């Protein structure tokens, strides 16, 4: 894909995982980047990796997007620096372990705040700029709820209907198990994580977990001019997990 050349792209969650992988790939493909993440040190390292690809130095807009002032500042800085926004990639998110019996409302509120409310707020502020450029939004969702299902419903039942007439495309990628640090941050130790990845041999049709780069390529496709007639898509990037029987 070469058709994201020079598109101004804001990527959240860019300090690690899928967001970081998307940042590096978009740099290789010639996009201009604004990168958000909570871990400033990691975000700086990702930016350096992007520059090593020969890309223009990314604009760093670090901060926690559950803070409303941070969201407003992020959009203001991006527009002040670049003057426009072509692509918004909502990749920031957390994973919480537990069931209805073991979780509490504080955990619920945290997940919803990070994975849904902050995404809604950021998208709300970015939409006027995306309308001007007839841009696109790519949400990083999940094949099995690692990100809230509400995010998928939000992007497809609301945004598509509202924004299609204004030529703004909205799509989602739905990863299966991808090798990142998100599961360890959610509480799995090394042994548990190894067992979790081993289980992918039976839960994913291709018999393995995915790599960050594999999701990044799908994001790039949906954001690119190769997908100008695609909107409202939930694209599984999951090694066939969505087609497997639940287990």
Q: Sketch the domain layout of the chain as residue ranges.
A: 8-243
Note whether 173 and 217 are within 8 A (CB).
Answer: no
pLDDT of 17 strictly over 50: yes
pLDDT of residue 155: 55
Q: What is the mean pLDDT of residues 143-167?
A: 66
Is the domain spanning 8-243 CATH 3.40.50.720? The answer is: yes
Please compute, for residue 131, the number of CA atoms within 13 A of its CA located in the half-sphere on the CB side.
Answer: 13
Note whether 122 and 151 are within 8 A (CB).
Answer: no
Neighbours of 229 (CB within 10 A): 6
pLDDT-based confidence at residue 144 (cuts at 50, 70, 90) = very low
pLDDT-based confidence at residue 143 (cuts at 50, 70, 90) = low
Q: Using one digit for the tens of pLDDT, what is the confidence trace for 156-207? A: 667 788 899 999 999 999 999 999 888 888 778 889 889 989 999 999 999 9
The mean predicted confidence, pLDDT, of the chain is 89
pLDDT of 219 strictly over 80: yes
Q: What percent of the chain has pLDDT over 70?
A: 91
pLDDT of residue 148: 44
Note whether 129 and 123 are within 8 A (CB).
Answer: no
12 phi/psi in degrees, rounded to 5: -95, 160
């Amino acid at each position: 894909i070469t058709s994201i050349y020079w598109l101004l792209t804001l990527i959240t969650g860019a300090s690690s995982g899928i967001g970081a992988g998307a940042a590096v790939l978009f740099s290789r493909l010639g996009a201009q980047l604004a990168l958000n993440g909570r871990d400033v040190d990691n975000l700086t390292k990702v930016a350096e990796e992007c520059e090593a690809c020969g890309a223009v130095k990314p604009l760093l807009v670090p901060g926690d997007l559950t803070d409303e002032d941070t969201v407003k500042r992020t959009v203001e800085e991006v527009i002040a620096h670049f003057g426009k926004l072509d692509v918004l990639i909502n990749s920031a998110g957390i994973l919480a372990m537990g069931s209805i019996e073991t979780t509490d409302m504080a955990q619920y509120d945290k997940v919803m705040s990070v994975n849904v409310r902050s995404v809604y707020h950021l998208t709300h502020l970015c939409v006027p700029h995306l309308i001007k450029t007839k841009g696109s939004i790519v949400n990083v969702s999940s094949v099995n709820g690692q990100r809230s299902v509400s995010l998928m419903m939000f992007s497809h039942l609301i945004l598509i209907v509202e924004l299609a007439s204004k030529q703004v495309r909205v799509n989602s990628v739905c990863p299966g198990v991808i090798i990142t640090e998100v599961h360890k941050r959610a509480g799995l130790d090394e042994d548990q994580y190894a067992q979790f990845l081993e289980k992918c041999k039976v839960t994913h049709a291709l018999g393995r977990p995915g790599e960050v780069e594999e999701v990044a390529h799908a994001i790039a496709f949906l954001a690119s001019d190769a997908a100008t007639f695609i909107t409202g898509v939930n694209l599984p990037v999951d090694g066939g997990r969505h087609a497997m029987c639940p287990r």
